[in-house]
Structure 1
Amino acid sequence: MLRLWNLLTACFLATACLLFSGQLAAMEPCPALDAASPDARSAINHHICFYSARPGEPAHSATAPEDLPAELAWKSARGHDLVFSHTDSVYWIQLNVRNSSTESGLWYPKLHYPLLDEVTFWQKSRYQSGYSPEDVRPPLATGDLFPFATRGIDYRYYLLPVTLNAGESRAILIRVHSSGALNVPLGLMTPGEVVAESNHLTLVHGLFYGAMLVLAAFNLLLFFSSGTRYYFYNAFYIASLGMFLFAMGGFANQYFWPNSTALANLSIPLTLAVCALAMALFGSSFLEVGPGTLSAKALKSLATIAAGAVTVTLIIPYTKSILINTALALVVIVALQVIAYVRWRQGYKPAFWYLAAWMVMVIGALIYAMAAFGYLGDYPAREVMMQAVVGGQVILLNYALVQRWRLLNQKLLDVEHQARTELELKVHERTAQLRNTMRELEQANRKLASISLNDALTGLYNRRHMDNLLPELCREARRTGNPLSLALIDADHFKRINDTWGHDFGDQCLKQIAGILDEHVKRPRDVAIRFGGEEFALLLPGTDLDGARTLCLAILKAMRKTPLIAPGNETFHLTLSAGIAELATGQEPSDLFRKADEALYQAKGAGRDQIVLANRVSTPDQSTASSAN
């Protein structure tokens, strides 16, 4: 029991000592930093004190050092960066510096975070307790709520020139207030160090933003040359992401709208919403999600929400819009990862590289967001890391585009190979029919041309084919001495059919006629043609008048015996009339057609359902007519 009592007593005394020492540490003044010592400057966070003034406290409403209460419970930074999440508090920061060298020098207290609404610097001649107006030099008031020129030095970060004579001491007081998260990464640098760091960062940022601009322009050119949408969406995404980082880095405020405090405060949530919109559009186009699928609906909804967020950002306060748009961007990223994984599992190979790109992006975005919202320190390092992550992601995305192009190109080659194989087979068949007189390409062109030479209703050849073929057959007949006959066939009283039962039934009758012609015209070189309305023609090379008459008799007989069922189940029989002409010596194609047409009119005038031969002096085929009766 005694041992237990001694142990509890020891723990109590240790805890009391820790609390007492912590109170002493909190009450101790900030240790002075030797500005002439590089080691001391690199350990500046061990020399910084701060005070968080909540709304309602005197220090919150204080606008100058002399307005501060006489005694403030300053806290030591204890070697850590000053980072604070969203808060309404005003932060006062104190840094005591002295020059231990024998020569005067110039140093720059540097605040490495550009996104602060209000930042005010004061310099006090000495850092004893208490502030009086005569000891404090004129302040430097700047921040995003002020024009960029108020910073005094044309630089995206905040610099305060401090000149110290040999052995001189000075207290630097900073008042910081912002509507978002607070990052107050402080440094104390010589002019040479500032220039060296600026040159290094200029090179890094120049390479990064230059590469982003080149990739965006390249994808835009690919879009204009190919018309492929995902190139445009990729250019849109790269440009919007680059603009977001440009605004986050303070460059947009420095170069684009230095005199517009509204845009300085609005640019970050606005560009973030635009990034979310670009991500959704690019992902939907690149991943080739099928229309109507759950993935397509989700991405369409996210794109619509992002477009709405762009509008809403112009209305709601910054503190709400930055949180909403950040959450929206993270939701879009997660949704794109899930959909990319699903597409990859479905066998879409480019989705693997797309998924890898977004996995890299998620890690970087989370770290960068935590730094921007005040949950992680060393914001400058996070900014460079984010640029490296974005660079890696953009490279992977463009590599995914290359893989997608290779996949599409391979599909195109496969389709082309298949089409070429099929075309070669068709060309070979066509070449055999046309006695191997044309090359493969000519046969392919002829086949394509034949599509325009067919009658859409009946499937027979049309008038254009007849006009092309008849002169050729006439020349062949004159050259070889073989006969050539032309038969013109017309449906009798066809207008009565259209007027009685309508054109739809008339079309069925025309198809029936075409079927009978196709059934009887069997020789390879004989051609059945519908050259207008209810008029048909037969081109019969190697056939004289008697052969043509025999063929037409069979056709008229078959048509006469074919019952047609009209609307209302009424049955009737359709008859045909025909005129036949044979090419005579010295005749032209037009003469042959005219003679056959005159013979057809004679058949019509003689009572229909019969045949008239134009090259013979004869009367209509009475046997045909009598059988019709």
Structure 2
Amino acid sequence: MSSVLRLIAIISLSLIPALALPDTGSVLAGCPTLEATDSAARASLMQYVCYYSAPPGAPGHDATAPDQLPVDIEWKPAHGRDLVFSHTSSVYWVHLDVRNSGTERAVWYLKLNYPLLDEVTFWQTANDTTETIATGDQRPFASRAVDYRYFLLPVTLDGGETRSLTLRVHSNGALNVPLSFETAAEVISGSNHLTLTHGLFYGALLVFAVFNLLLFFSSGTGYYFYNAFYLAALGLFLFAMGGFANQYFWPDNASFANTSIPLSLSLCALAMILFGRSFLEIDKGTIPETVLKGQAWFCIGFLALALILPYNKTILLNTVLALTVISSLFMIAAIRWQQGYQPAMWYLLAWLIMLVGGLIYALAAFGYLTDFLAREALMQSAVGGQVILLNYAMVQRWRLLSQKLLDVEHSARTELEFKVHERTAQLRNTMRELEKANRKLSTMSLNDALTGLHNRRHLDNIFPELCAEARRTGHPLTLALVDADHFKNINDTWGHGFGDTCLQFIAEILTRHVKRPRDVAIRFGGEEFALLLPGTSATGARKVCSALLADIANTPVLAPDGTEVRMTLSAGIASLAPGEDQSQLFERADEALYRAKSEGRNRALLSETSEVE
């Protein structure tokens, strides 16, 4: 009998905790109850969690409370895994039963360690009483139960009490639901640790940004400003991703909470490009410069798109853009390093760290990796390493520039004495070169560019001198004016290009027949030429011109269309008479040329005065 009583007593004692539980329907099969007082159980919280995924159209997608869920839905145990889902439009329901087997009332906190969730609703059910907290990024920050960047649900359990905790989570982007169940001391300890870590991290970013800004104002070097811009934009992006911006900057502007993330990411990518292009000294017009310029315009365009398109699209676009920019800068830095630009080595290491950290962080943010907190810490470490390496790269760049200046100064001192001795010799050489140039310029100014003959200026210079010499010595001086016949027809028929060829041909014939050293052939008009023949009588000049005219008439020139063109010349000849000046001599030669034209062309005529002589 006593053994039976002992058995009944044991069974009764085992059923006492159940008296504090709600109805049996609230405890899900396959989801064990978490013992809140057991720290080891709390550390393995996900072994006690069940969840249900409700895609659009499923019964649980439009449900707004646990009692609206169908009774026959299949809850899935988490089996210790974090609830991490890539881009999804499903609504996720999470369920957890917790029990305080102790004798005293105590408080715990269900902590959701991911700040970027649009809709988060908590329900606590005990003794047919339900408490509800509706919060998330789409609500003002004050809707949270605790003023904290993550989502905290206070859970107060009396001794022996059991509660059912249910969460409804929905978000436009990736969905991370990293849960923990902690005591107040554990929450405070973790918060203090993160506050110290984040304070040091963001404080260091701010110090480096201000320092680079001061360097820009003092030196005017552009990449210091771009680096300050990059650090500020990167800090703002991580501040928004970590939930701090929503908590401190715009707690009452729920619509801007999501928009701020792709906006700051576009600014960050733009700052990366501006800093990289300036620091790596990329030449204009090169392929790297063109690539970065195109990506910069994409950043500006994505800034505008972030204000128009939904968050789930803009965050994906801007993430791809940022990773593309980082990859491009990494490759360009490798190219610049191969080209011998030494500071690019440190820049390359900095972006290698950033590329790895950014890729892991993006995968965690988009739900492809678990433990977002660890990825956030890894990203901060990557950013810290990058900032240190970038600033060290700038120091190395400054050191190299300083060394180059010192080398230039030393080289200048060494070569100064040699330069002084060399200066006199260079000056002499310069004077000689200048004299040659002047002579060449003089020759060019006195010669016709097309034919190579002397020009009208040379005629004006030498004609008075030859006339004065002839009057002084009594030696004859004869002037022959030669003009191409019907030259306009040549230009009209075959064009001015062929006309120039004919003029060059005439000049070649003139040079062939005017062979004496003192004889001068001149082109002084379009198709007008002059021959100055010192020591030659009018009769001798006529022989020269007759031979010249015959040579021209008998030598065809091949036109562009294959036609053989035969040209003729007319010439007027006059010899200097006593008491005559050069203008009178020129007029008589011109009159003789006019008569040759009038009498049928292709002939050489003497002036009337010359014939009398």
| 1:205 partner letter | H
Residue by residue over 1:284-316, the C-alpha shift from the partner in whole angstroms, topping out at 9 and shown as x without a partner, is: 111111111111111111111112111121111
Determine whether 1:49 maps to 2:50.
Answer: yes
**Identity percentage of aligned residues:** 61
Q: Is the 8 A contact 1:566 1:572 kept in 2?
A: no
Determine whether 1:64 maps to 2:60.
Answer: no
Q: Distance in 1 between matches of 2:413 and 2:52?
A: 79
Alignment RMSD: 2.9
| 2:171 partner letter | S
Which residue in the other structure is 1:216 paired with? 209
Residue by residue over 1:196-252, the C-alpha shift from the partner in whole angstroms, topping out at 9 and shown as x without a partner, is: 111110000000000000001111111111111111111111111111111000000
Q: Distance in 2 between matches of 1:219 and 1:571?
A: 71
Write out aligned runs for 1:280-319 (5 A): 280-319=273-312
Of 401, 412, 425, 1:419 maps to: 412
Q: Distance in 2 between matches of 1:569 and 1:122?
A: 109
Distance 1:315 1:167, change over 3 A: same
Q: Is the 8 A contact 1:151 1:159 kept in 2?
A: yes
| 2:184 partner letter | P
Relative to the length of structure 2, the TM-score reads 0.65
Write out aligned runs for 1:492-511 (5 A): none
Residue by residue over 1:43-91, the C-alpha shift from the partner in whole angstroms, topping out at 9 and shown as x without a partner, is: 0010110000011122100001111111220001100110001111000
Q: Is the 8 A contact 1:219 1:235 kept in 2?
A: yes
Of 124, 127, 130, 1:136 maps to: 130
Residue by residue over 1:487-526, the C-alpha shift from the partner in whole angstroms, topping out at 9 and shown as x without a partner, is: xxxxxxxxxxxxxxxxxxxxx99x98xxxxxxxxxxxxxx
How far is 1:96 from its partner?
0.6
How far is 1:339 from its partner?
0.8
Residue by residue over 1:167-202, the C-alpha shift from the partner in whole angstroms, topping out at 9 and shown as x without a partner, is: 100000000000000000001111111111111100
Distance 1:377 1:567, change over 3 A: farther
Of 165, 169, 177, 1:172 maps to: 165
Q: Distance in 1 between matches of 2:312 and 2:88?
A: 10
Q: Secondary structure at the match of 2:295?
A: helix
Q: Is the 8 A contact 1:27 1:73 kept in 2?
A: no
The size of the alignment, in residue pairs, is: 423
Distance 1:31 1:359, change over 3 A: same
Q: Secondary structure at the match of 1:183?
A: strand
Q: Distance in 1 between matches of 2:45 and 2:379?
A: 25
Q: Distance in 1 between matches of 2:287 and 2:191?
A: 49
How far is 1:162 from its partner?
0.8
| 1:83 partner letter | V
How far is 1:411 from its partner?
1.7
Residue by residue over 1:595-619, the C-alpha shift from the partner in whole angstroms, topping out at 9 and shown as x without a partner, is: xxxxxxxxxxxxxxxxxxxxxxxxx
Write out aligned runs for 1:180-195 (5 A): 180-195=173-188
Relative to the length of structure 1, the TM-score reads 0.64
Write out aligned runs for 1:77-88 (5 A): 77-88=78-89
Of 324, 327, 351, 2:320 maps to: 327
Q: Distance in 1 between matches of 2:28 and 2:182?
A: 28
Determine whether 1:124 maps to 2:125.
Answer: yes
Of 180, 183, 196, 2:189 maps to: 196
Q: Is the 8 A contact 1:353 1:397 kept in 2?
A: yes
Of 368, 384, 402, 1:409 maps to: 402
Q: Is the 8 A contact 1:353 1:399 kept in 2?
A: yes
Q: Distance in 2 between matches of 1:569 and 1:171?
A: 114
Residue by residue over 1:7-51, the C-alpha shift from the partner in whole angstroms, topping out at 9 and shown as x without a partner, is: xxxxxxxxxxxxxxxxxxx97341110111111110001011000
Which residue in the other structure is 1:259 paired with? 252
Q: Secondary structure at the match of 2:156?
A: strand
Please list every run of 5 or more consecutive structure 2 residues that lacks an aligned counterpart in the other structure: 1-26, 426-433, 443-453, 463-613
Q: Distance in 2 between matches of 1:135 and 1:51?
A: 23
How far is 1:101 from its partner?
1.2
Distance 1:27 1:109, change over 3 A: closer
Of 363, 366, 369, 1:370 maps to: 363
Which residue in the other structure is 2:486 paired with? none
Residue by residue over 1:557-582, the C-alpha shift from the partner in whole angstroms, topping out at 9 and shown as x without a partner, is: xxxxxxxx987544438xxxxxxxxx
Q: Distance in 2 between matches of 1:331 and 1:113?
A: 26
Q: Is the 8 A contact 1:96 1:172 kept in 2?
A: yes
Q: Distance in 1 between matches of 2:149 and 2:459?
A: 93
How far is 1:152 from its partner?
2.5
Q: Distance in 2 between matches of 1:43 and 1:158?
A: 19
Q: Distance in 1 between matches of 2:180 and 2:252?
A: 27
Which residue in the other structure is 2:601 paired with? none
Q: Secondary structure at the match of 2:71?
A: coil
| 1:123 partner letter | Q
| 2:126 partner letter | S
Q: Distance in 2 between matches of 1:165 and 1:191?
A: 16
| 2:52 partner letter | Y
How far is 1:407 from its partner?
1.4
Determine whether 1:159 maps to 2:48.
Answer: no
How far is 1:419 from its partner?
3.3
Of 139, 147, 162, 1:146 maps to: 139
Q: Distance in 2 between matches of 1:278 and 1:334?
A: 15
Please list every run of 5 or more consecutive structure 1 residues that lacks an aligned counterpart in the other structure: 1-25, 127-133, 434-458, 461-507, 513-564, 574-629
Determine whether 1:358 maps to 2:348.
Answer: no
Of 385, 404, 420, 1:392 maps to: 385
Q: Distance in 2 between matches of 1:342 and 1:157?
A: 43
Which residue in the other structure is 1:437 paired with? none
| 2:51 partner letter | F
Which residue in the other structure is 1:272 paired with? 265
Write out aligned runs for 1:511-590 (5 A): 568-572=457-461
Q: Is the 8 A contact 2:145 2:154 kept in 1?
A: no
Q: Distance in 2 between matches of 1:224 and 1:567?
A: 64
How far is 1:414 from its partner?
2.2
How far is 1:426 from its partner?
4.8
Q: Distance in 1 between matches of 2:281 and 2:456?
A: 50
Q: Is the 8 A contact 1:209 1:242 kept in 2?
A: yes
Distance 1:425 1:202, change over 3 A: same
Which residue in the other structure is 1:522 paired with? none
| 1:136 partner letter | T
Q: Distance in 1 between matches of 2:142 and 2:253?
A: 11
Of 223, 232, 240, 1:247 maps to: 240
Q: Distance in 1 between matches of 2:190 and 2:382?
A: 21
Q: If you compute each CA radius of gyration, which structure gives the higher value, 1 or 2?
A: 2
| 1:75 partner letter | K
Residue by residue over 1:580-603, the C-alpha shift from the partner in whole angstroms, topping out at 9 and shown as x without a partner, is: xxxxxxxxxxxxxxxxxxxxxxxx
Which residue in the other structure is 1:100 paired with? 101
Determine whether 1:337 maps to 2:338.
Answer: no
